[in-house]
Structures are given as structure tokens and as C-alpha cells.
């Protein structure tokens, strides 16, 4: 029985790639230094999987930014503004597309399906001159081969690439991206021919869009594409990989009828209904890559249950045609449990990170071949039993309180218009009030202070004094810039979810459980293993201290329950909605304590609400019902004069705008600038929004500093569709990843633009 890994984390067990990238971007190291670190990481990954007994090992899953941008480079689909003149695409052009540069903005970034990973959205139109411009796929295949590892090169499938793209600026929104398929396929043929010449015998096309609700013409594009590629692919074993959800029946029928395809990969963790489709009919003589090991979470696999599933599939597809696989790329999990020295043994026994999942995949394959590792399976069964019976998992009082929530929809008693009037009387803000989203730059010194405090190298008094001094600097800077509603900059927080999880019961934390979010940005998701409650106040001390330093309104900064849920590794032994309600109750307690402490503006970030939206439309209503309800629970008890803000970033919001309105926040700040003001189109189409709203005026994920005129132009575009009395002026997102040398001039221009437009409005 063979085994397969869809993809693997690329950052390295200690974030080696992150530090190499940032050193290169800062000009502290060379391109050769970056390439050297990357080659060492790739070699380590390939050798690890080969050593674990994996037969089908992927290559070309390593990326300096993201795999869709890699495909854009391969196809030479570089927007003209980057001044690329052909030839092999180098780091300058590649990273300019990803991050922007001094003269031009970056391409749009959005979420990869329903994950916290991001990708750079291709910008396409009828005039794009596709050309084979990055030979990364074949170079990595050869690199692995030279190490004695024969891999499966992985490419983003041509149809998914186009379906994930958008019309470039100036191209009609109605332009059919699929009309570019013949041009794109011409380049794919060159790549495939290159791989064939290099000796590859298998090739993997990732076509995850097949799990979406696709119209018939989009499904037909898959048939057309692989029919066109069939002769070029002759001699290859071709695997089409899908993941993240059940595959719809019509898409399953299309996929299993494609020309020249040898194997099909399915997510059987999040796509349990796909099992029924397979059992109802699977093409004879084809391989089934069965994704039974979860690539999205960190819980140990239920090996006995997986064996049962695999044995049932053997009877359908045949023993020699079944391959044990992960449900998706392991990119979405932490790297290796071996690096976790501070997790207690009980919780650690319940977990499996990427390296452990590789072992699980191979153990399942060996067991199906008659070489079952009895000790490994016994230890797995014992760990599962321990987790199920552990008293630390269950808190009856929390479960009872969460169950009682279902009798109400938890809406504030007064409508938003009346609340905004009451708040304005108290806050006395100008038209177009300015604010930021929460965090300010996380300096080297600040990180050192937090690190030394955690390691008990400095006292609590020294820590409090250092953080207080940082807050004072951030407050003084905002007052100097004349920002209207201030933030304390979050110097005490390394991560917006981790900070709260550390203070809530039912959470566990890792030392090196890093997961890539985009580029060099990594997050360390907490692990929700049990019922959640708040033992004591979490932010009141710092928010009160910050408010004491200024007469201007100071926002209390909280992470909302849906975002804490979606940015954590969540327990899989109860519905996600139940866990979310528990978190909502904990945040509700914090909101009410902040209000009692005199904080009049409280921001409850729900950056990840859209991210968690299920991929199938039939499941949207249920998710939006409990997620929006969870947000309302957090602030239902506050006074009309307390202004509740929320923030959302880097997702497509237009399709859930009515649910966003239903959240009933007083003010929402939302990403807008990097997506070409896509958000504003929903208001042009007639959606009425009566609460305060701040569509972002500049992209904080790029080092580029926008001019006052550029920001003023954005504000004017907003005023064309939104009333001046509800519009706020703010960046797209928090500023923690930026430097003060970028933040100060950018915010100076933001305030100047707001004042300029205020003056024009007054005239």
C-alpha cells in the first residue's frame, strides 16, 4: 500500500525561511543566501518524507511567497506596472508583485479558500502575453532527484488558476477569464514537456476549485483543459488533487471522466460525503488518493477509524489502486511536535503536527499491507481514550451557560442610528474621524522585553514599566499626528489570538507551533482542547493605563469569538458553534469590564469571520447565523453611549454584506485599498449601510507609503457611495508588521487627507 503527502510546511521548524526572507528584504543578506537556506529546507523535507517511507513525495510546493504567485511567475502573467521586460522572473519582480515597491502597489491579496493562508490574486485580461518565465517546477524536481528522491511535481491546475484570478484594472468586470484557457494551456504544455524530459513519471495538478458550487460552463472548462493536455501528458501518471470540502456530485462526475487522468485525490476529513460518491461509482483501473489524515488540524488521527474507512475503499477501488494521503497540504499545520518542550505530556499525546502526520500516513499504509505496527496503534488508541475521558476537557458550568444562549438573538435594545447620535454627543468627533486598527510596530526592543519577561529574566515591575513607556510613546505619536480615536498599540501582545488564549481556560500553547499566513508572516495558533471561560480580566489594566495618558478616546482592543475560533486549532469533539458561544461569553465579560473601567470605544475584531464561511453555499446560512450571533452576544449588555467597533480584513466581503450589517456594530473598519476598492461596489449597487464604516485607505502589508493625494482620492471615492457622517478614515489593518519609518509618514498623510476633504466639505 502506497502513501502520499499533498504538500508540506515550508517555513522550517524554527521559521528559518521567515528570517531568511526578512533579512533579504532588509538588504542584510544576498539572494544567494536566501537560496541557500531554501535549498537546505527543501532537502530536509524531502529526506524526512523519504525516510518515513512515503512513496509519493511532492516537489514544487516550496514557495518564497505563495503557490499561486509562483504559477503567475511560471506563466509570465506580470502586470505591466512592474516594468518586467521578459526573461526568467527574478526576485525583484516576484517580490514587487507580492509586496509592492516604492513606486507601485502590490497585487491584491486574499484568503486561500476558508483558511488563514493568503495568496496573491492574478490580474488578467485579453492582452496578457503569457510566456514560460519561471522554471521553478523542473528545477526543484531535478534538485530532489539529485538527492536521490523521486518526487511528484505539483502545479496549480490551469482551470483553478483562472477561476482564482480577477480581471486586471481597466478590463471589463464581465471579461471571461476562462477565455484565456488556450493561452494558459500552451505554457502548461511547455512545463509538462520540461518535467517529462527531466524524468518525472507522475505529476500532480491541484484543482481545489472543484469543491465549489461551479456552473456547468466552468465544469466544462476542466473537460476542455485536460482533453487539450492529454497528448502532452501521455506517458505521465496524472493526479488531480482536490481538498477542503466535499466535492459536488456533478464535479465528481466531471473529474472522474477527465481525459488522461490516472488518479484522483479527495479530502475525506472535511469531505465525508465524498465517500458516498466513491462507493457509488469509481472508474476502474484508476488510483484513489484517500485523504484520511487531517491536514488542517493538529489532533492525532483516529487510526482505527481511518483503517475502517480505507478497508471499505479497498473493496471499491482495489488494494493496488488505493493510496493513503493527507486531506490537503500540511502547510496549514505546525511543523513538528518534537520541538514542543513545554506542552504537558497528556495534551502532547493527543496531538500530531506535520512530521507526525507523515508518520501516521505511512503507518496506515503499512497496516493495510499487513505490516501493522501494533505498539503505534495501541499508543494512538490510549491517547484518544485519554482525551475523551480527561476532566480538564469539560466544564459543566460553561456548557450550561452556552446552552442557555439559544433562547435569544442578543440584540442591543436601541437601533444603531440612535446609538450613534448618543455616542457623538459623548465623543464629539469631527466629520471623517481618523483612527488606526490597533497594533503599532513591534520593534526588536519590544520583542526582547516580552521574551525576557516570559523567561523570568526581568521582573514584573520592569516589564510593566517598559510596556507603559511604549504605550506612552504610541499615544504621544498619535496625538502629535492629530489622530482622533487612539489605540494603545498592543505592545504587550505578540499575536491578537494567542494573547487572549493565554488568559482563557481550555487553551494550550506551543513554543514553535508556527504556521505560515502569507509571505514571511507566521502565526502560532492556540490549541482549544476544552471548554472555554475567562478566569479574570484580560485587557482592562493596559486599556485603563492608556486612557489615563490622553483626553482623546482610547479604544479597548479585543479579538472577537469567531476570529479566536477560526485562528485556533479547534477541538474536533463538539460542533465549532458550541466552542464559539463559549468564547463569546468570555469576551462579553471582558467588554463589560472595560465599560465599567471608563473605556467608551471598544473594538472587537472579527478579521476572520468571512474566512470561516463554508465553501458550499448550502452551508452558509447556518454558519452565518451562529457566527454573527456570537459577535452580538459579546456586546449586547453595553450602554448606548459605548461605541462598539469591529474590524475585518483580506477576504471577499460583498457576498456577506447583509450578515455584516446584522452584526449590529456601531462602526466597522474593513480592508479595501489592496482589492481596488472592491468593497465599495456593493454600496454602488444600492446596499444601504447606516452604521459607521471605515474602508481602509492604504495597504499596510506593503512597505510603500501612499501620498496625501492618493488617500484623498480614495476618500472621495468612498464619499460617492457613503454618507459623510458615517465615514471613518483608517488604514486597512494593524501596523505591527511595519516599521516606524513607514508608519509615521503614512499616518501623517492619512490625517492630512482627512483634513483636506473635511475642508472641501465645509466649503
Angle between helices 354-368 and 31-51 (to 10 degrees): 30
Q: Are 633 and 407 in contact (CB under 8 A)?
A: no
User: Could you tell me how many helices (H) and strands (E) the chain has, helices first?
Assistant: 27, 22
Residue 411 marked ligand-binding: no
Q: Are 132 and 76 in contact (CB under 8 A)?
A: yes
Q: Which residues of 516-549 are buried (b: 16+ CB within 10 A; e: fewer)?
A: bbbbbebbbbbbbbbbbbbeebbbbebbbbbbeb
Angle between helices 444-454 and 460-481 (to 10 degrees): 150
Angle between helices 16-25 and 31-51 (to 10 degrees): 170
Residues 6+ apart with CB under 8 A from 634: 558, 560, 561, 584, 587, 588, 591, 604
Residue 580 marked ligand-binding: no
Dig out the grid coordinates for 12 from the structure: 522550517
Determine the Cα–Cα distance for residues 478 and 553; give it in Å rounded to an integer. 12
Determine the Cα–Cα distance for residues 591 and 644; give it in Å rounded to an integer. 9
Q: Are 624 and 656 in contact (CB under 8 A)?
A: yes
Residue 227 marked ligand-binding: no
Determine the Cα–Cα distance for residues 7 and 151; give it in Å rounded to an integer. 11
Residue 490 marked ligand-binding: yes
Greatest alpha-carbon span in the chain: 83
Select which of 4, 332, 645, 701 is catalytic: 701
Determine the Cα–Cα distance for residues 401 and 582; give it in Å rounded to an integer. 8
Q: Given the C-alpha cell 497528556, which residue does it identify?
A: 346
Residue 688 marked ligand-binding: no
Residue 605 marked ligand-binding: yes
Q: Are 740 and 444 in contact (CB under 8 A)?
A: no
Residue 439 marked ligand-binding: yes
Determine the Cα–Cα distance for residues 117 and 11; give it in Å rounded to an integer. 13
Dig out the grid coordinates for 289 from the structure: 488518493
Helix (H) or strand (E) holding 323: strand 322-326
Helix (H) or strand (E) holding 68: helix 67-75
Determine the Cα–Cα distance for residues 261 and 225; give it in Å rounded to an integer. 12
Residue 522 marked ligand-binding: yes
Residue 148 marked ligand-binding: no
Looking only at the bridges linking them, the beta strands covering 237-241 and 515-518 are unpaired
Calculate the CA 14 to chain-centre distance.
20
Residues 6+ apart with CB under 8 A from 320: none
Residue 438 marked ligand-binding: yes
Q: Are 485 and 643 in contact (CB under 8 A)?
A: no
Residue 733 marked ligand-binding: yes
Helix, strand and coil percent figures for the chain, each rounded to 5: 45, 15, 40
Calculate the CA 285 to chain-centre distance.
37
Q: Which residues pair with 570 in a beta bridge?
A: 528
Q: Which residues pair with 124 in a beta bridge?
A: 167
Q: Are 436 and 731 in contact (CB under 8 A)?
A: yes
Q: Are 623 and 614 in contact (CB under 8 A)?
A: yes
Looking only at the bridges linking them, the beta strands covering 692-695 and 667-670 are parallel
Residue 633 marked ligand-binding: no
Active site residue 217: no
How many other β-carbons are positioned within 10 Å of the β-carbon of residue 129?
A: 9
Angle between helices 91-99 and 16-25 (to 10 degrees): 100
Angle between helices 708-719 and 740-762 (to 10 degrees): 50
Residue 437 marked ligand-binding: yes
Rg of the chain over Cα atoms, rounded to whole angstroms, equals 26
Residue 728 marked ligand-binding: no
How many other β-carbons are positioned within 10 Å of the β-carbon of residue 209?
A: 22
Q: Which residues pair with 3 in a beta bridge?
A: 324
In 3D, which of 152, 153, 167, 209 has the Cα closest to residue 79? 167
Q: Are 223 and 179 in contact (CB under 8 A)?
A: no
Residue ranges at the known binding site: 18, 116, 437-439, 490, 521-522, 567, 605, 647, 649, 658, 662, 671, 733
Residue ranges at the known binding site for 5-methyltetrahydropteroyltri-L-glutamate: 18, 116, 521-522, 567
Residue ranges at the known binding site for Zn(2+): 647, 649, 658, 662, 671, 733
Residue ranges at the known binding site for L-methionine: 437-439, 490, 605
Catalytic residues: 701
Amino acid at each position: 500500500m502506497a502513501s502520499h503527502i499533498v504538500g508540506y510546511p515550508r517555513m522550517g521548524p524554527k521559521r528559518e525561511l521567515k528570517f531568511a526572507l526578512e533579512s533579504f528584504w532588509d538588504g542584510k543578506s544576498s539572494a544567494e543566501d536566501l537560496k541557500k537556506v531554501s535549498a537546505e529546507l527543501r532537502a530536509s523535507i524531502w529526506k524526512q518524507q523519504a525516510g518515513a517511507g512515503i512513496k509519493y513525495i511532492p516537489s514544487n510546493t516550496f514557495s518564497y511567497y505563495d503557490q499561486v504567485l509562483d504559477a503567475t511567475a511560471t506563466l509570465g502573467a506580470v502586470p505591466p506596472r512592474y516594468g518586467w521586460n521578459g526573461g526568467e522572473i527574478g526576485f525583484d519582480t516576484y517580490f514587487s508583485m507580492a509586496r509592492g515597491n516604492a513606486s507601485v502597489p502590490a497585487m491584491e491579496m486574499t484568503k486561500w479558500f476558508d483558511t488563514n493562508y493568503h495568496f496573491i490574486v492574478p490580474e488578467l485580461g485579453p492582452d496578457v502575453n503569457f510566456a514560460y518565465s519561471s522554471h521553478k517546477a523542473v528545477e526543484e524536481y531535478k534538485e530532489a532527484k539529485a538527492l536521490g528522491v523521486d518526487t511528484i511535481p505539483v502545479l496549480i491546475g490551469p482551470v483553478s488558476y483562472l477561476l482564482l484570478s480577477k480581471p486586471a484594472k481597466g478590463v471589463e468586470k464581465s471579461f471571461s477569464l476562462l477565455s484565456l484557457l488556450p493561452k494558459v494551456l500552451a505554457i502548461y504544455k511547455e512545463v509538462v514537456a520540461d518535467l517529462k524530459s527531466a524524468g518525472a513519471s507522475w505529476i500532480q495538478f491541484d484543482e481545489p476549485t472543484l469543491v465549489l458550487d461551479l456552473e456547468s460552463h466552468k465544469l466544462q472548462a476542466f473537460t476542455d483543459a485536460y482533453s487539450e493536455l492529454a497528448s502532452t501528458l501521455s506517458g505521465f501518471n496524472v493526479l488531480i488533487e482536490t481538498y477542503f470540502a466535499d466535492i459536488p456530485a456533478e464535479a465528481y462526475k466531471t473529474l472522474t471522466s477527465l481525459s488522461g487522468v490516472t488518479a484522483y485525490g479527495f479530502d475525506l476529513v472535511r469531505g465525508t460525503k465524498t465517500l458516498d460518491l466513491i462507493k457509488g461509482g469509481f472508474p476502474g483501473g484508476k488510483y484513489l488518493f484517500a485523504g484520511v489524515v487531517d491536514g488542517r488540524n493538529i489532533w492525532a488521527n483516529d487510526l482505527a477509524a481511518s483503517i475502517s474507512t480505507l478497508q471499505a475503499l479497498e473493496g471499491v477501488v482495489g488494494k493496488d489502486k488505493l493510496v493513503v494521503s493527507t486531506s490537503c497540504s500540511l502547510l496549514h499545520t505546525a511543523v513538528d511536535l518534537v520541538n514542543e518542550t513545554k506542552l504537558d505530556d497528556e495534551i502532547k499525546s493527543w496531538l500530531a503536527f506535520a512530521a507526525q502526520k507523515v508518520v501516521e500516513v505511512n503507518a496506515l499504509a503499512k497496516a493495510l499491507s499487513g505490516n501493522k505496527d501494533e505498539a503505534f496503534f495501541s499508543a494512538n488508541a490510549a491517547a484518544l481514550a485519554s482525551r475523551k475521558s480527561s476532566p480538564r476537557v469539560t466544564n459543566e458550568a460553561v456548557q450550561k451557560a452556552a446552552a442557555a444562549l439559544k433562547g435569544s438573538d442578543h440584540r442591543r435594545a436601541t437601533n444603531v442610528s440612535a446609538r450613534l447620535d448618543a455616542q457623538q454627543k459623548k465623543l464629539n468627533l469631527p466629520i471623517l474621524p481618523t483612527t488606526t486598527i490597533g497594533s503599532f510596530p513591534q520593534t526588536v526592543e519590544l520583542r526582547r522585553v516580552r521574551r525576557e519577561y516570559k523567561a523570568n529574566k526581568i521582573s514584573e515591575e520592569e516589564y510593566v514599566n517598559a510596556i507603559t513607556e511604549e504605550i506612552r510613546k504610541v499615544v504621544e505619536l498619535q496625538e502629535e499626528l492629530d489622530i482622533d480615536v487612539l489605540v494603545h498599540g498592543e505592545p504587550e501582545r505578540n499575536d491578537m489570538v494567542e494573547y487572549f488564549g493565554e488568559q482563557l481556560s481550555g487553551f494550550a500553547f506551543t513554543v514553535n507551533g508556527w504556521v505560515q499566513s502569507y509571505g514571511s508572516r507566521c502565526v502560532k495558533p492556540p490549541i482549544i482542547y476544552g471548554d472555554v471561560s475567562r478566569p479574570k480580566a484580560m485587557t482592562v489594566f493596559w486599556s485603563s493605563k492608556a486612557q489615563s495618558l490622553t483626553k482623546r478616546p482610547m479604544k479597548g482592543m479585543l479579538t472577537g469569538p469567531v476570529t479566536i475560533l477560526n485562528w485556533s486549532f479547534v477541538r474536533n469533539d463538539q460542533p465549532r458553534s458550541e466552542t464559539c458561544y463559549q468564547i463569546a461569553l468570555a469576551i462579553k465579560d471582558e467588554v463589560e469590564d472595560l465599560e465599567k473601567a471608563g473605556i467608551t470605544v471598544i473594538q472587537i475584531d472579527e478579521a476572520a469571520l468571512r474566512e470561516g464561511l463554508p465553501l458550499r453555499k448550502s452551508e452558509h446560512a447556518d454558519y452565518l447565523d451562529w457566527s454573527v450571533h456570537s459577535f452580538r452576544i459579546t456586546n449586547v449588555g453595553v450602554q448606548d453611549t459605548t461605541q462598539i467597533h469591529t474590524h475585518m480584513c483580506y477576504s471577499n466581503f460583498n457576498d456577506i454584506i447583509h450578515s455584516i450589517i446584522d452584526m449590529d456594530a456601531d462602526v466597522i473598519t474593513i480592508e479595501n485599498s489592496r482589492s481596488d476598492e472592491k468593497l465599495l461596489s456593493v454600496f454602488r449597487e444600492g446596499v444601504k449601510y447606516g452604521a459607521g464604516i471605515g474602508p481602509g485607505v492604504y495597504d499596510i502589508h506593503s512597505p510603500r507609503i501612499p501620498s496625501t493625494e492618493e488617500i484623498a482620492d480614495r476618500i472621495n471615492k468612498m464619499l460617492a457611495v457613503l454618507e459623510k457622517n458615517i465615514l471613518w478614515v483608517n488604514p486597512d489593518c494593524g501596523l505591527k508588521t511595519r516599521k516606524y519609518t513607514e508608519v509615521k509618514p503614512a499616518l501623517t498623510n492619512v490625517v492630512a487627507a482627512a483634513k483636506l476633504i473635511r475642508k472641501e466639505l465645509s466649503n
